[in-house]
Amino acid sequence: MKTYVIHAAISVDREPLVEELVLQANAEVFPAIILLDGREGCRQSHFSAYRSTSEDVLVFEDDCEIIADDFLSPIPLFREHYDLIYLGYNSLCNSGSWGTHALWVSPRAKNCLFNWLPSYETVMPPLDLIWNHVEHTSPCESGGLRVWRPADGRRYVRQKPGLRSIITGGIRE
């Protein structure tokens, strides 16, 4: 499994979080793609990380703060039974989750995602919406994606409060 922290080098205030993830998750820093449209940069950064390896991949965003010592424990427990394992998200909705900041992606899930993407002929939606669509529209060769989310999206990790979002420019509470 490849493990990355997608990091925008201009965000020096996040370096302690990045260093902690590199140490605790044995992660590599993956340079973020910075664009005027922050959502597009986020999406392209994640897609580049997914494409960088044929293996499964665990991706953290650079504003991700470790909350629990066992923050990686769901992966060995569930990786044989699921295609996506969410370790951190901000909220749930009927279609899935929003504000994802830590996600394990199987090779099958990456294949489903990239086979499904050509269905977008215009501007693509935010990454969370794409994953939610892929999860619920069954674009995979043998049924839909199998997804595991903790009941509490901040059980293992969370987006650190007080940081300015690269996507929206707002301060996280």
Q: Where are the domains of the chain?
A: 2-159
Scan for tokens 């901040």, then name that residue: 154
> 35 pLDDT band (50/70/90 cuts)?
confident
C-alpha distances (whole Å) from 80 to each of 52, 75, 106, 164 are 22, 9, 9, 36
Lookup: tokens for 90: 């901000």
* Amino acid 14: pLDDT: 95
Please, what's the b/e burial string for 10-30 (b: 16 or more CB within 10 A of its CB; e: otherwise)?
ebeebeebbeebbeebebebb
Phi/psi at 53 (5° precision): -150, 150
Non-local (6+) Cβ contacts of 62 within 8 A are 5, 6, 7, 8, 11, 14, 17, 18, 32
CATH topology of domain 2-159: Spore Coat Polysaccharide Biosynthesis Protein SpsA; Chain A (3.90.550)
Chain centroid to Cα 4, Å, comes to: 10
How many CA atoms does the CB half-sphere of 170 hold within 13 Å?
Answer: 5
- Mean pLDDT (the chain) is 90
Amino acid at 2: K
Kindly report, residue by residue over 67-120, the tens digit of the pLDDT. Answer: 999 999 999 999 999 999 999 999 998 778 999 999 999 999 999 888 877 665
* Amino acid 124: pLDDT: 77
Measured on CA atoms in the order 87, 101, 82, 29, is the torsion positive or negative? negative
What is the DSSP pairing of strand 28-31 with strand 2-7? parallel
What is this structure's pTM?
0.92
